[in-house]
Amino acid sequence: MRLSNILYFFREAAKSLSRNRLLTFATISTVTICILILGMAVLLSLNAERFMSRLESDVQMIAFLDRSLSDAEIDEVQEEIEKIDGIKSIKFVSRDESLRELQETYGSQYDLKATLGKNPLPHTFEIEAKNPQDVPKIAELVYRIPGVYKVNYGQGVVERLFQVTHWVRIISLAFIIVLAAGAVFLIATTTRLSVFARRKEIYLMKLIGATDWFIRWPFFIEGIFLGVVGSLLAVALLAAGYGALLQNITSMAIITLVSDMAVLGKVYLALVGTGAVLGVLGTYISLNRFLNV
């Protein structure tokens, strides 16, 4: 591509932007609002995702062992469990440790050992799965090992949790797609006005023998500019708003928001990129009809 052509494309784009100031303003506002809503949806689902995966990773299995097992048999059970695929960690907790923990939660007021006479607790294994979704399956396998008389992992509740997180993920993805499609449509509508104002020029260029790309470039540059400026504004608003939210909410222990700057930076960058893509897509859609000569 010739340098003079590139300069020409940028000049044409700049001319068009400054000629239709009102339209430029309207399109930038549209992009800003769309990207702002999109950004909020992304941050919301990002936090939901973080919250859900934390909930999920808390899911743990406890395998209770028969009290009659010897130390050698306990080792055998451990070996059997370790053979199962998808296990992240396994930790033996002896009955004495369990009792000590229990004692701690009750405090020194009650002497459990004295009250109960002997330790009624069994030996246990605390098992973590690599993928929390596999917990019910692994629990079933562990339960089948001789010497294990019970596996606890919050049966029922865990399955429900996974069902809920599954649907939350699908719905938030669908929501983001719908918002992005809406943004493309809005940008296409506003850029159509700018294309329409120049339809005679486009027709003339086509008949003179200009290639489609020669005609498209100035509009694309215009679209990218509108998309990037609009989304930069949106990201500025979003970052300010989210920053304020972070400061006010850290005192609440239950909800921890995503505050990792590397993650947030990626989200903001992706939003600006999305703005540029939406700008190009919008102009592409509105331009195509007029290129068909």
Partner 1 sequence: MLVQFYNVSKIYPNGVKALDDISLKIDRGEFLFLMGPSGAGKSTLIKMLFREELPTRGQIFVASRSIVRMKRSEVPLLRRNMGIVFQDFKLLENKTVAENIAFAMKVVGASHRDIRQRVPEVINMVGLKGKENCLPTELSGGEQQRVGIARALANQPLMLIADEPTGNLDMETSQEIMELLFDINRKGTTVIMATHARELVKQAHKRVIMLERGRIVNDTPHGESLV
* The residue to which tokens 């797609």 are assigned: 177
Round to whole Å and give the CA distance between 44 and 242. Answer: 10
Residue 64 interacts with partner 1 (CB under 8 A)? no
Round to whole Å and give the CA distance between 34 and 40. Answer: 10
Residue of 171, 197, 249, 293 interacting with partner 1 (CB under 8 A): 293
Q: Are 86 and 26 in contact (CB under 8 A)?
A: no
Residue 246 interacts with partner 1 (CB under 8 A)? no
As given in the structure block, the two tokens for residue 207 are: 């008949």
Round to whole Å and give the CA distance between 29 and 271. Answer: 15
Read off φ and ψ for residue 61, nearest 5 degrees: -105, 145
Residue 204 interacts with partner 1 (CB under 8 A)? yes
Residue 205 interacts with partner 1 (CB under 8 A)? yes
Residue 92 or 214 having the CB closest to partner 1: 214
Q: Are 1 and 211 in contact (CB under 8 A)?
A: no
Round to whole Å and give the CA distance between 288 and 293. Answer: 10
Residue 18 interacts with partner 1 (CB under 8 A)? no
Residue 178 interacts with partner 1 (CB under 8 A)? no
Residue 8 or 64 having the CB closest to partner 1: 8
Residue 117 interacts with partner 1 (CB under 8 A)? no
Residue 116 or 293 having the CB closest to partner 1: 293
Residue 211 interacts with partner 1 (CB under 8 A)? yes
- Count interface residues toward partner 1 (CB under 8 A): 18
> Please, what is the minimum distance in Å from the beta carbon of residue 184 to partner 1?
24
> Please, what is the minimum distance in Å from the beta carbon of residue 270 to partner 1?
34
User: Measured between alpha carbons, how far is residue 153 from residues 58, 61, 229 in Å?
Assistant: 10, 5, 51
Residue 72 interacts with partner 1 (CB under 8 A)? no
Binding-site ranges for partner 1 (CB under 8 A):
2, 4-5, 8, 200-201, 203-211, 214-215, 293
